Amino acid sequence: MIHELYCSLSSNMALSCMAPPVLGKSPDEAGFLAALGRRVRERRDEAGLTRRRLSELSGLSERYLAQLESGDGNISILLIRRVAEALHCSLAQLLSDQAADPEIEAALGVLRTLEPGQRHQAVATLQQRFGEMSRERARRIALVGLRGAGKSTLGARLAARLKVPFFELDQQIERELGAGLESIFTMYGQDTYREAERRVLDRLTRTHRRCVIATGGSLVLEPRTYELLRERCLTVWLKASPEEHMDRVIAQGDLRPIRGRDHAMAELRTILEQRDRLYGLADATVDTTGIDEAESLKRLVQVIAVASPLAGSSAREATAAQG
């Protein structure tokens, strides 16, 4: 870090000796120098250096360093910046001593044009398709979402089409602890459930290279477990409107969401809003609102075929079979 800072400052010093005069700074250039000074100051603080010590290491005067950190540094770097702008490249590209890779520069150029959310998706797509971890995790598909989203139904049908095992995580937890979910929470508490949830997930993903997993709706609230799931599985959020969530759960004969609750729908909306960002961290999303089971499965298979090239061959066969 010290060496990099020294080289940077020394280069600027050398440039200043041969730089032609500049008549003035635009507001943008003044902002650039202020940001440069701030970065120099931050790097010096991180290195634990006083300005005097940096002066000794760099050979630059304390007065010059003070001006640089205050945003009133030598104007020569602005000349190089203007050349870079005229050449339609970044200052870093012009100053780098490494040959530019055209394909990398093209990819970076595309990323720079995207909105922050789009950049996140683009990077995730690159990681899914070409990252080392993706080669393993793409073979396992995990469905996340609230009760009533269709995780169990669609998960079982998806696994059958892909010819891989299907696991409902809650059922595996019940088997692990030898009791039903209600009894587990009553007798052992939530901490025991969460520990078993992570333990079972770890075992399933270690012992099965290919499978489909339907997770519990609240798994996303446990950061370490959700991180493990996203590290080892291709995750898909099965999304639905609050009304459809409620209707589907009641249609299954489960009246717990409304029993003794006058504001059950309002509570459900609040839960969805609170978890929306967490569910949105999944690799892909399938909105099942207003469509039947067959169409939901078709869309799920199509999404997986696009998101996972490794699971894609089976997924594409499944898509063709539906057509």
Distance CA 186, CA 184 (A): 5
Is the torsion defined by CA of 314, 316, 319, 321 positive or negative?
negative
pLDDT at 23: 47
Burial zone of 285 (CB within 10 Å; 0-12 exposed, 13-18 middle, 19+ buried) = middle
- Mean per-residue pLDDT pooled into runs of 10, the chain (323 residues): 44 42 66 79 82 84 84 69 68 63 80 82 70 68 90 94 95 94 90 94 94 94 92 92 78 55 75 88 90 92 75 52 50
pLDDT at 160: 94
pLDDT at 210: 93
Distance CA 286, CA 300 (A): 6
Under DSSP, the state recorded for 48 is T
Q: Which residues contact 262 (CB under 8 A, 6 or more apart)?
A: none
Give the pTM.
0.56
pLDDT at 256: 54
Contact (CB, 8 A) for 229 and 219: yes
**Which CA distances in Å does 78 have to 9, 28, 128, 230?**
14, 10, 40, 44
What are the structural domains, with CATH classification, of the chain? 2-97 (1.10.260.40), 119-322 (3.40.50.300)
One-letter amino acid identity for 185? Answer: F
Distance CA 211, CA 139 (A): 7
Helices and strands (DSSP H and E) totals, the chain: 18, 5
